[in-house]
């Protein structure tokens, strides 16, 4: 089973305009996926899928081009666990 380290997901800068960086650690080896949702829960974009080694930091770059200003949700899913944070896109 794969698990995320609690409170170890960060996004910067917030708010962002062109580029957002998301960093998180995964405690156990396994598959993960990172998705971007609108505030209604609709999938906007799949940002990354991959496999992580235990304790490895993952970094995902989010391109803000084509995204409307506003609030979004970024979810990292690994195994049965999911962590979600809010981000703000603003020109």
Name all domains of the chain by residue range, CATH numbers in brackets: 10-89 (2.60.40.2550)
Question: Model confidence over 2-59: pLDDT tens digits?
Answer: 445 555 788 999 999 999 999 998 888 889 999 999 999 999 999 999 998 888 889 9
The pLDDT assigned to 5 comes to 55
Helices (H) and strands (E) in the chain, counts: 0, 7
Average pLDDT value for residue range 75-88:
90
**Is the separation of the CB atoms in 37 and 75 below 8 Å?**
yes
The pLDDT assigned to 9 comes to 86
Closest of 15, 16, 69, 61 to residue 34, by C-alpha? 61
């Amino acid at each position: 089973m794969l698990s995320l380290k609690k409170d170890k997901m960060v996004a910067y800068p917030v708010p962002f305009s062109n580029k957002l960086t998301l960093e998180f650690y995964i405690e156990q080896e396994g598959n993960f996926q990172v998705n971007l949702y609108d505030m209604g829960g609709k999938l906007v974009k799949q940002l990354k899928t991959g496999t992580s080694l235990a304790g490895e930091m993952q970094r995902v770059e989010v391109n803000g081009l084509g995204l409307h200003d506003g609030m979004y949700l970024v979810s990292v899913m690994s195994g049965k666990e999911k962590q979600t944070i809010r981000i703000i896109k603003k020109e």
